Amino acid sequence: MVSEGDRAPDFTVPLAGGESYDDVSEFTLSEAIGDGPIVLAFVPGAFTGGCTEEMCTFGSELDTFEALDASVYGVSVDLPFAQNVWIQQEGFDVPMLSDWDHEVTRTYDVVYPDMYGSIESAQRSVFVIDSDGVVTYRWVREGGNPEFEPFVADVREQVKAARR
């Protein structure tokens, strides 16, 4: 399990930028570390109500996170092409990391084993990683969905603390 105080495990995955169906590049966490805090927001799946609400809420706050030199990425087990369609359809600007082989979800120990009674996905969770690559905040959903506006405000406060 990845806990607060641990070095964030490195990974390389496809990055869905959302500009078009095939707007896919490569993202390596270790290459992004050092540019400011990183928020990894794991969601169970594209096109679902709670996940859409969460990514739209993070998207509406991107300017605030960028003002803190922070980068926000959604993470799901969906293929990057589906993530791009989701981004376009819902109109949010949060880039999505495609953990299609479930390795990142397993490494960060946020597996939701039984989505809709049939598939393994990511459990709703958030990690804040500081510029040194250390996890400064870990939240994993217990029970129902949080109210996303106050929740994102809490994450923003954790990003501010990670900048110190």
Q: How many domains does the chain have?
A: 1
The CA-based angle 41-7-136, given to 5 degrees, is: 55
Which CB contacts under 8 angstroms, 24+ apart, belong to 46-50? Answer: 46/76, 46/78, 46/82, 46/83, 46/85, 46/86, 46/96, 47/82, 47/86, 47/89, 50/124, 50/145
Q: What does the block give as tokens for 112?
A: 């939701």
Mean per-residue pLDDT for 99-126? 83
pLDDT for 65 equals: 94
The more confidently predicted of residues 70 and 120 is 70
- Domain span including residue 98: 12-162
Residue 4 lies in a domain: no
Select which of 38, 51, 94, 128 is catalytic.
51
Q: What does the block give as tokens for 14?
A: 């496809």
pLDDT for 120 equals: 76
Residue 114 lies in a domain: yes
Residue 142 lies in a domain: yes
Q: What does the block give as tokens for 158?
A: 């954790």
Q: What is the pLDDT of residues 26-48, one digit of tens each?
A: 999 999 999 899 999 999 888 88
What average pLDDT is seen over the chain?
A: 90
Residue 6 lies in a domain: no
Share above pLDDT 70 across residues of the chain, in percent, rounded to a whole number? 90
CA distance 27 to 68: 21
pLDDT for 8 equals: 98
CA 52 from chain centre, in angstroms, equals 12
What CATH code is carried by the domain that includes residue 142?
3.40.30.10
Residue 3 lies in a domain: no
Share above pLDDT 90 across residues of the chain, in percent, rounded to a whole number? 69
Residue 31 lies in a domain: yes
Could you confirm whether 56 is annotated as catalytic? Answer: no
Residue 69 lies in a domain: yes
Q: pTM for the full model?
A: 0.92
Residue 138 lies in a domain: yes
